[in-house]
Amino acid sequence: MQVELSPLVNAFANLIQNLNDASRYLQLRGTYDWRQDTQFMAGSTCRLAKPAASMAVFRPRCRGRPLPGRSIYLRAAYYF
């Protein structure tokens, strides 16, 4: 779902659901077009799953350490 808060500010929400069980991910993102070729973006991903759900059981790893089920990010982009 996309909501245009103003011509330069947009908010996005995505819900990804596994059809075999009750596991799902919620992704929230906001963008701000500062200038003609410059954009700022911030977002978050959160796992909404029961402990027995398949997405909750899957634990991705990075350098031997488990990754959390939630994350945030910031991005600045300049398009020339």
Joined together, the tokens standing for residue 29 give 């993102």
Percent of the chain residues topping a pLDDT of 70: 74
pLDDT digits (tens, 9 = 90+) for 38-74: 999 999 988 776 655 555 555 555 566 655 567 889 9
CA-CA distance, 30 to 28, in Å (whole number)? 7
pTM of the full structure = 0.69
Whether the CB-CB separation of 53 and 18 falls below 8 Å is answered with yes
Residues forming beta bridges with residue 18, ordered by sequence position: none
